Every structure is written in C-alpha cells, then in structure tokens.
C-alpha cells in the first residue's frame, strides 16, 4: 500500500514539528511538496527535508494529481479560503485549528466536503496522545464514578512576548478562545461528550498590545477580539463544564483541565501536549499519579491526526479528527462569543460522534487499519 502524499500550504512557526514528524515518525504519509507566501521559507523546508516539489502558489499545489491531502497551516483567518479552494479542487483537507474563523464559514466547508465526498478534518490532535487517551480510559473504567463536571483554565499574558509574528492572535479568528480553546474543548468533549448549551462573559481588557519579541519588538498591535472569556458548558450527559481563557493576566502555574466525578477527581494534563502527568484523587486513597497507558504518543506527536486520516483514506474506515468534531468545537467557541455579546445562553445545534479509543499495541507511527 503506497504512502499518502501531503502537500503543505504554509510553512510558518508551527510547520516545523509537522515536517519533522511526517518525515521521521509516521510510516504511511510523506511530504510531496510545499508552498508559502514567503518563498524563502518554503525553499528552506525543501532543502532541509528533501521535499520533492516547491510550488509557486497554493493553486499549483491543488492542481497537482500527486497530492492526496492538503495540510492547511495558514493563519486562522485564512483557513476558510485555503480549505475551500482545496476542496473545490477535489483535495482532502486537514487544517490547523480552528476549522474556520466563524460558524458560517465552517458550515460551508463541511457542506462542500460532504457534497464532494471528501475528507475534511483538522487539529487539534493532542487528544489522541497518551495523556488524554489514558484519562478517557480512567473515566470509562469508572474510577471517578459518574462524571459531574469539568473545568479548563488557559491563563497567560499573551503571545507577543515570544511569537515572531504575533499580530494575528489579536485579529479576526484569533484571541485566546479561538487560538487555545480548541485544545481544551476537544479534550473535554472527548472526556464528557457533546455540549448542548453554553454561556459566557467576555471582554477585551486592552485596546493595544506591545510586541516584545523579535523581529517586531516595539511595534503596537490593535486588538480586535475578546481576550478574557469565562464560559460555561452544559453537556448532554448532565455534566457542567467551565472554561476560562485569557491573554491578559500573569499566572505562574501551568494550564490545566480537571474532571469531577461522584467518586473522585481527575487532574488531566495540559491539552496542548500529548503526555502527562495525570493525577487521580479518590476519598480514602488520597492523590496518586496514574501511569500512561498509551505511551507511544507521549511526546510531541503533531501530525498524528493527519496520519490517522491518511490511514482512513487507505482503508475506508472513519478517522478521528473529523469535521464533525472540529465543527462542534467551532460552534461552542462561537457560542461563547455570541453569549457574551448578547448576554444570554446559546444552544449548540451540532453533535459529534466520539471516536474509538487509540490502540496501545501498535508500533509508534503505525495506525490501525
């Protein structure tokens, strides 16, 4: 069975780990070519990873019959335009998060993919890593009893202190919820199921941000999006979740997710990573560290979701990071924004099907048929 060939649109900051893992970790995919608005970046990737093709633009890539899946690693507000063009050209698409910058765009992409019988999916795939998969098994094994609620906290001062080009984080499709929220929401829905309603209070704490990273040190960013979002989710199961994301405050502790049950509390690792640690508290037993049960993917395994999609393309099975999930996440995030703007609870219409738990008996880089 031949490898599935991936064409990159965009080789910015996040692309490095995709290039590395597709080249060295995953057995069923390979990079056929790349393109980028900054040609030098694409040229550097071609040289470093011995990539066969360098395209002049994305349309040349879409027209190449050797490309099986388009990997969309552009800025969030560009995801819709790039993914739509790729789908209309007859290509399967895997996109960095979010699926789109708004629900209307996401719905159009999903409809095009379904009409053309094409695969559409995307990040995050961190929920497939050892950490979240082990947590899911702990919950399904009943170690915390009946889930009652959950919480996620992503608290930081913003990306302008370290990212080389941070302006897009404060523009349409950005902000802490659309940038980091997908990790937390994806983890929570894979642990607690579908969300039926959301509510939130939101605000923009600062109108402008000062960049202190290179190469734009000293430049000012105008902030166009909410940067402080306190949201609540009602799950169909009856559980209630809280999600707090902000780029506005100083906070010394790591990001975290917690799940509360009738018989204990599970401390879930950072959903922006693939590994642990995991802690479980049960009355009478105290706090204990839980071993990872899916340790093939405990380190940074980005492109795992893409590899799973490729295996589905080879075999005809379903894939895990599908647009049913990414669309549900998008609707929840937009629901928070709408709730904050309109000061009301918002009903979530979409539903997703929870994917099978990962297998832990396969070689790293190999996905099940």
What three-state secondary structure class fits 342? helix
pLDDT at 1: 83
Q: Identify the pLDDT of residue 253.
A: 77
With respect to residue 369, please indicate whether it lies within any of the assigned structural domains. no
Residue 276, pLDDT score: 84
Q: What are phi and psi of 312, to 5 degrees?
A: -65, -35
Q: N- to C-terminal Cα distance for the chain?
A: 12
Tell me what pLDDT residue 59 has: 98
Domain that holds residue 136: 126-296
Q: How deeply is 258 buried, as exposed, middle or buried, from its count of CB atoms within 10 A (0-12, 13-18, 19+)?
A: middle
- In this structure, is residue 340 part of a structural domain? no
258 with 148, same domain: the answer is yes
The values of phi and psi at residue 66, to 5°, are -75, -15
Same domain for 100 and 48 = yes
Domain match, 21 and 147 both: no
CATH of the domain at 50: 3.40.50.720
Q: What angle do CA 320, 346, 151 make, to 5 degrees?
A: 60
d(CA 58, CA 87): 12
DSSP states of 52-83: SEE-SSHHHHHT-TT--EEEE-S-GGGHHHHH
Q: Which of 51, 49, 47, 50 is nearest to 7 (CA)?
A: 51
Q: Which pLDDT value is given to residue 210?
A: 96
Same domain for 314 and 285? no
pTM as predicted: 0.97
55 and 156, same domain (yes or no): no
> Would you say residue 275 lies in a domain?
yes
Beta partners for residue 248, in sequence order: none
CB atoms within 10 A of CB 321: 27
106 and 138 co-located in one domain:
no
Question: Cα–Cα distance between 78 and 74 in angstroms, integer?
Answer: 6
> Which stretch of DSSP H or E encloses residue 228?
strand 228-235
Q: Are residues 93 and 142 in the same domain?
A: no
Same domain as 164, residue 112: no
Q: Is the peptide bond before 121 cis (omega within 30 degrees of 0)?
A: no
Q: Count structural domains, the chain.
A: 2
Q: Is the Cβ–Cβ distance between 95 and 79 less than 8 Å?
A: yes
pLDDT at position 294 is: 86
User: How many Cβ atoms are within 10 Å of 219's Cβ, its own excluded?
Assistant: 14
Statement to judge: residues 143 and 102 lie in one domain: no
Q: Residue 150 sits in a domain of what CATH number?
A: 3.30.360.10
Give how far Cα 59 sits from Cα of 7, 86, 111, 140, Å: 11, 8, 21, 45
CA distance 236 to 201: 22
Give me the residues of the chain with pLDDT under 70, please.
254-255
72 in any annotated domain:
yes
Same domain, 113 and 143: no
Q: How far apart are CA 369 and CA 357, in angstroms?
A: 14
What are the residues whose beta carbons fall under 8 Å from the beta carbon of 286, sequence distance 6 or more?
none
For residue 104, give both structure tokens: 């209307």
Nearest to 330 by CA among 63, 123, 22: 123
pLDDT in tens, 203-261: 999 999 999 999 999 999 999 999 999 999 999 999 999 999 999 999 887 668 999 99
Of 281, 296, 311, which closes a domain?
296
- Residue 51 sits in the same domain as residue 141: no
Residue 203 located in a structural domain: yes
**255 with 311, same domain?**
no
Cβ neighbours of 363 (radius 10 Å): 7
């Amino acid at each position: 069975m031949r490898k599935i060939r991936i064409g990159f649109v965009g080789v910015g900051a996040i692309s490095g780990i995709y290039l590395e893992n597709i080249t060295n970790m995953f057995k069923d995919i390979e990079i056929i070519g790349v393109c980028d608005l900054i040609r030098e970046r694409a040229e550097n990737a071609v040289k470093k990873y011995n990539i066969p093709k360098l395209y002049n633009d994305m349309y040349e890539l879409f027209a190449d019959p050797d490309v099986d899946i388009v990997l969309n690693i552009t800025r969030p507000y560009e995801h819709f335009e790039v993914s739509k063009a790729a789908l209309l050209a007859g290509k399967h698409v895997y996109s960095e998060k979010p699926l789109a910058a708004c629900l209307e765009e996401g719905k159009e992409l999903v409809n095009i993919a379904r009409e053309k019988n094409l695969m559409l999916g995307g990040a995050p795939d961190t929920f497939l890593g050892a950490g979240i998969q082990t947590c899911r098994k702990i919950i399904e094994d009943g170690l915390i009893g009946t889930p009652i609620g959950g919480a996620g906290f992503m608290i930081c001062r913003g990306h302008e202190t370290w990212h080389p080009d941070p302006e897009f984080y404060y523009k349409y499709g950005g902000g802490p919820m659309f940038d980091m929220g997908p990790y937390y929401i994806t983890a929570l829905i894979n642990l607690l199921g579908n969300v039926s309603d959301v509510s939130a209070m939101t605000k923009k704490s600062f109108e402008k941000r000062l960049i202190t990273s290179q190469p734009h040190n000293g430049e000012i960013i105008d902030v166009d999006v909410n940067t402080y979002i306190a949201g609540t989710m009602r799950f169909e199961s009856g559980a209630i979740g809280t999600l707090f994301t902000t780029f506005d405050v100083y906070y010394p502790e790591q990001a975290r997710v917690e799940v509360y049950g009738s018989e204990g509390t599970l401390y879930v690792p950072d959903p922006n990573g693939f590994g642990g640690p995991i802690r479980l508290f049960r009355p009478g037993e105290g706090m204990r560290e839980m071993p990872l049960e899916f340790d093939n993917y405990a380190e940074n395994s980005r492109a795992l979701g893409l590899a799973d999609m490729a295996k589905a393309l080879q075999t005809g099975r379903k894939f895990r990071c599908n647009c049913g999930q990414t669309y549900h996440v998008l609707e929840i995030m937009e629901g928070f924004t709408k709730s904050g703007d309109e000061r009301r609870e918002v009903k979530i219409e979409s539903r997703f099907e929870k994917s099978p738990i990962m297998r832990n008996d396969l070689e790293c880089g190999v996905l099940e048929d």
